[in-house]
Structure 1
Amino acid sequence: MSLQLPSLEEILENSHVVRLPMRVKFRGVTEREALLIKGPTGWGEFSAFLEYEPAEACKWLAAGIEAAYQPFPKPLRSSIPVNATLPAVPADQVGRVLENYDAPHTIKIKVAEKGQSLAEDVARVAETRRLYPQAALRVDANMGWDIPTAVEALERLSGFDLQYAEQPVPGITGLAQVREQLRARGIGLKIAADEAVRKHTDPLEVSRLGAADLMVIKAQPLGGIQAVLDIAKQAQLDVVVSSALDTSVGLAQAAALASALPELPYACGLSTGTLLAQDVTGQPLLAAAGYLPVRRVEPEMDHLKRLDPGEQRTAWWRERVARCYELLAAGAIERC
């Protein structure tokens, strides 16, 4: 990847750290922190999850710098079809959560939450299907199952006419085994790779090993728009662009990525802005009638001040930028 780095001092001088409260717990968090970077072409976002070490987080920083310092590619579409995202809530809360979405034609349902049972997953999916009989449904396990559990769970859940199952188990070889065992049982449910793409040193191995039918890709974890476009071109698999629980700044970059893909056969996971109780702008990037507009987002200073997490967290993020920047400056991004 070719990325012209500004100086670290310039990045830090033009950065703002924010903490956004969430409406519901998602991915185990109730608040989302991010560092926003203002550059000559707009704003970029660096919001690698807090547990990620620099070797993994440096690509997220590269994506934020790219957004702030390089123009978005020419869009091939002006809006992006998006799915609603349903966290692993009890079945009786499904309707309330999904009411926050505008016209959900596609719904991604979180399953395999730690501490929950398969029966709870089945109840959640069943209730979603009951409330939205015409919607396209997909499930996302976030690597939460082992192989036998995944095969059992997906055999049961496939009865709800799922579009695909996202990352049911860890790793690329695990995906391949789940896919093979489902086919042996006569179950044609498609398997999507997510963490297996963005956490592996060679994302294209998913394609080479036939481990999945499609890839869920995120702009930040893979290093930005151009890096993802290159991967998608080489993999020759269908692509779904998803959010990394971004603020509207990061969602704008993800939407720009989706708008630049030659083909977009599936609704994208870019409607997560509804999960945030507050955002960095009074005009957050939200879907209308199931479609997300493709546009830049300009944070507002009063929002940035109100969402400031304080000196300690700001210092933590600035130090994190410095450690990730060191890897980028050393040309280590391909090994991140």
Structure 2
Amino acid sequence: MPSHARPVRRPAARGPLSAHVLAVLEGAHGPAPQIPRSPDPDDLHLALHLCYELHYGGLPGVPDDLEWDPHLIAFRRVLERWFEADLFDRVGPPVPSQDVRAALPELIRHDDGPSLSSWMVEHGTLTAMREFVVHRSSYQLKEADPHSFAIPRLPRAAKAGLVSIQAGEYGVEHPDHVMHSELFARTMRDLGLDDRPNAYLDQLPATTLANGNLVSMFGLNRRWRGALVGHLSVFEMTSVEPMGRYSAALERMGASPVARRFYDVHVMADAVHEVVAVEEMAGPLADEEPELAGDILFGARAVIASEGAFAQHLLDAFAEGRSSLLEPVAA
């Protein structure tokens, strides 16, 4: 039986929040639990991830009409408010700003977070690389989809810039029109990993789930459309060198060109996309809707902080000789 034909089992709950969402998905509509003053990040981000998955490919055995279940949406909004408050504590709330074109490169230039790609190309093992790919699978297997929610929500010029970037992500620039998400699935298969969506959900820690939840929260809430544009801009502006390093690391490890293709394609595509992101998307959005300039930069700060926490988590685990996942990946 091919891997995509095998059902993915439901994840185990990590606390009262995720247990409640799982219960609703199974047809039980009991009262929502109170959010603790300091909720367990693993519990909160698994609960949010499950809510958000209903807006993508869905979850096995869950009816499609639960996507807009009023009880679940209300609970998701409570979880999002906590997530937003945590982001405000870490990177500050949106503040008025006008010069987005100048500010975005400055934010990236002053980012002093750890470089996971540099460590991987110099010291990484195949085991570490496989773990990294498992972490990234929660986003890369649906790459571009969260950002596409912004298409109907942007004014003309910014919309055109976003669509230009998204067309490349969905394979228009590839000779065989292969989507980047499918290239990532091929990387997974070539490394002996399961490419089914959510196959590794029980193994993904909060730092990984938070990365995916960040872009989903921005994408699924129109009020965060500016933050979503800032998020995508940072993705495109910081992709070329790291993707090249990951490809080089895989080559050093003896991986095939199939495993490296996902990273090689991004080196080529994102060299163009990083210019489009600022000059044809973020900049025009700030011109057309100046009140969103602060949100654009908030989204940029948020993804820089979230990616930094993710990289630090993996590097700490690798330095201590332990798995960066909740459970190691089978060899």
More strand by share: 1
Specify if TM > 0.5. Answer: no
Give TM-score, length-normalised by structure 2: 0.25
More helix by share: 2
Give TM-score, length-normalised by structure 1: 0.25
